[in-house]
Structures are given as C-alpha cells and as structure tokens.
Amino acid sequence: GGYIFGVLQKKRMIYNDLESQDAVFADVAPLLTSLLDGYNVCIMAYGQTGSGKTYTMLGPQLEGNLAFAIEEESELGIIPRATQEVFRLISEKPPGSYCVEVSVVEVYNNEIFDLLAKDSCGKVFGIKRDVVTTREGKSDVPLLTHETVENASEFLHLVKKGLLLRVTHPTLVHAHSSRSHLVVTLTITTQKMHCTPAEINFNMRCFGPSVDIESSLTFPPHYSFEADLLSVTSAFLYTVPGMSGVTGAALRETSFINRSLSALADVLGAIAEQRAHVPYRNSKLTHLLQDSVGGDAKLLVMLCISPGQKYLTESMQSLGFGTRARQVQRGQVKKKISQCRVKENKT
C-alpha cells in the first residue's frame, strides 16, 4: 500500500492506496482547463522505487515488461485521463484549431534520450539529444521527435512504445524498476489565422492539406516561426532506495539520480527564495524542465510514499522535497503569449 500527496501551490490533497484513480484525477482535471486558457502545466510524480509513480501517472504495469495496461479504463492513471480530457476540451473548439504533438524523453546518467526517434527503417530507438537555451531564454531539445496525435489512444500507443525502450536495471525492491527519470510532453499548437509561408508549411504538416497553399512558394531547409505552444509535461522522478549493496554501474547511476534530484530541489529553493539566479543548468533534468517548473507554468507535484517503517528514510526525503515544492510562491502565473520553436522543414 502507498499514499499519494498532491501539492499544488497552497492546496494539499492526500490519498491512500484504496482511493480510486478517478478521485485522484478529479483534483487534477481543473489544471487542464488552465492549459487551453493559455498556461503551461507540469505534473510531476516523485517517490522511491516501487512507491506507485507509474501506477499514479499511467496505470498498472503489465507483468514482465514496462508497458502499462490501457484496457482497464477504471485503472488508468493521470496521463491517459489528462490526454482524454485535453482532446475532449479541444473537441469543443472549432475543428482544426489545435494540433497536438507528443514527445517522450528519458534522463539517464545525466544524458537525454529521445525515446520516439526512429532509425532509417522506421523502428523506434533511443537517440541521445542535448538540451540548449534559446535566444529567448527558453530550454529546447534540438531535433527532438514530436509525433502528431489525433486522439488519446494514438498518444498512449506512442508512450507505450517509448516506455519499452527505457533503460532498466532490476533492484531488490522492485523487479521491474526503472532507474531513470521519464518526461512525457504533450504540446498543443494553436493555428494562427494569418500565416507566413513557413507557418503554412507547418500547418500543412499538422492539420493536413486543408490549408490553401500556393505551389510557387519555396521554403528554406530550416526556418523558425512564431506560434502559440502550450504544453502538459509529466515527469516521473526516480528517487534512490537505500544504498546498501549498490556497487559498480548501479552506484554511478545512483549518484547521477541523487545529483539531478538535488539540482531540482536547489532550483525549487531558488524560486521559493525569489533569487535572481535560478541554477537550471546544473543538471540536464533541471535544464530540460526549466519552462515546466519555473517561469509561467503551473506545477503539480504528486509525492508517492510507501508507508512501511522500512522505507522511513526514503519517505522523509520525499516529504522534504514536497515541503520545498510547497514553499514556492510564484505570484500570479502568466499566460503564454507567444513562443518560438525551430522546426525542421520535412517537405
């Protein structure tokens, strides 16, 4: 059994392991309305191995592999429900006004892997990517794969494929444990009414050939354009179980996990104290999550706790992280006005 603590600014919700996925999602759903109102949203699960992050965020894992069951609707976690809700909200808007894309990234040993990248035969395999800061001061992962999805089930199949690539290393605590952080992002692009040639080309890719395009237009191989991008980022942060018996490669992994999580705690501390400099670039994890935890995003932290006495140290550590997250006072969050992403011209 476990407990989940949800921390959203000043509100605090506590659920035990018998609470239905439905009840947990009911408290998350209002965040998604904010998304289409123009805010970035980040939902983060934090907890030691086996404490229920995957169950809370995705649903029960299938025996023998890392995929999760999507057949049992009542067991679905926050991400599938959030995706269904996003598509439901979009269906109430004029047809074709939003484009939804997904990316799946793993942070392992302070390296970033694109879990949706494909080889020349179209087979998915993880490619190492880098995270950079754009001229506008945003974080960006150049060449990261963003797949367009039309509905929640397409989204879930892509996430499932990405999950199967995750680096795993069984621990004594939990046989199918993953020793990496996972970041799944749903990016929503709003179509603009007055398009430049580059935007028309992008809209063609996202919305199909319904956009009128003049055959005489030529496009440079790479270009940038202005568009409204909104994102729901869901991060699964792996925290370290007791160190006894951990040696060799596992010890190296453990120290990277510790470093990226302490970098995240430092970032939250700097935001909480409203320091002028927030050390996002101290780890790949914090650099990647920069626009999701800081600036103008709405952040929800779900702490997963195993209540057994055996896990007291880990539970106290997770609660300490939650306490720090709660101290973040970010004033009025700002709506996104316009963001720029460099797109590769694929035509």
Is 51 one of the binding residues for ligand ATP (CB under 6 A)?
yes
By the rule CB under 6 A, 174 interacts with ligand ATP: yes
Going along the chain, which residue ranges are E strands? 3-8, 11-16, 40-48, 98-108, 111-114, 127-129, 132-133, 139-140, 147-149, 181-190, 222-239, 297-305, 339-344
238 binds ligand ATP (CB under 6 A): yes
To the question of whether residue 254 is assigned a binding role by annotation, the answer is: no
What's the CA gap between 189 and 106, in Å, rounded? 23
Answer yes or no whether residue 294 interacts with ligand ATP by CB under 6 A.
no
Contact pattern from residue 201 through residue 230 relative to ligand ATP, giving x for each residue in contact according to CB under 6 A and a dash for the rest: ------------------------------
Q: Is 247 annotated as a binding residue?
A: no
What residues from 252 to 281 belong to the interface with ligand ATP (CB under 6 A)?
none
Judged by CB under 6 A, the residue of 25, 42, 44, 54 near ligand ATP is 54
CA distance 50 to 322: 18
**Contact, 83 vs 186, CB < 8 A?**
yes
CA dist 249 → 156, 182, 244, 252, 256 (Å): 32, 19, 14, 5, 11
What span, in angstroms and rounded, lies between the C-alpha atoms of 39 and 334?
7
| Residue 162 found at the interface with ligand ATP (CB under 6 A) | no
Candidate segments 31-39, 44-52, 86-94, 264-272, binder of ligand ATP by CB under 6 A: 44-52
Separation of alpha carbons 181 and 200, rounded Å: 36
> Which residue number, 264 or 304, has a Cβ lying nearer to ligand ATP?
304
Question: Which of the stretches 54-62, 119-127, 186-194, 289-297 binds ligand ATP when contact is defined by CB under 6 A?
Answer: 54-62
**Bridge-based pairing state of the strands 3-8 and 11-16:** antiparallel
53 is in an annotated binding site: yes
Q: What letter would DSSP give residue 334?
A: P
Residue 323 assigned ligand-binding role: no
64 is in an annotated binding site: no
Taking CB under 6 A as the criterion, the residue among 178, 187, 231, 339 binding ligand ATP is: 178
Residue 276 amino acid letter: A
Closest Cα to residue 306, out of 259, 235, 242? 242
CA distance 52 to 215: 53
Name the segment binding ligand ATP (CB under 6 A); options: 81-89, 144-152, 174-182, 227-235: 174-182
Q: Is 1 annotated as a binding residue?
A: no
245 is in an annotated binding site: no
- Rounded Cα distance, 304 and 49, in Å: 9
Q: Which of residues 57-76 bind ligand ATP (CB under 6 A)?
A: 60-61
Stretch that binds ligand ATP, among 43-51, 126-134, 214-222, 259-267 (CB under 6 A): 43-51
Mask: binding to ligand ATP, 298-327, rule CB under 6 A, as x and -? ------x-----------------------
Burial code (b: 16+ CB inside 10 Å, e: under 16) for 22-49 equals eebbeebeebbeebbeebbbbbbbbbbb
Annotated binding-site residue? 50: yes
Interface residue with ligand ATP among 7, 41, 52, 229 (CB under 6 A) is 52
Residue 54 or 187: the one with the smaller Cβ distance to ligand ATP is 54
Q: Which helix (H) or strand (E) holds 291?
A: helix 284-293
In the complex, the residues that contact ligand ATP under the rule CB under 6 A are 2, 17, 47, 49-55, 60-61, 174, 177-178, 238, 304
User: Binding site for ATP: which residues?
Assistant: 47-54
User: Binding site: which residues?
Assistant: 47-54
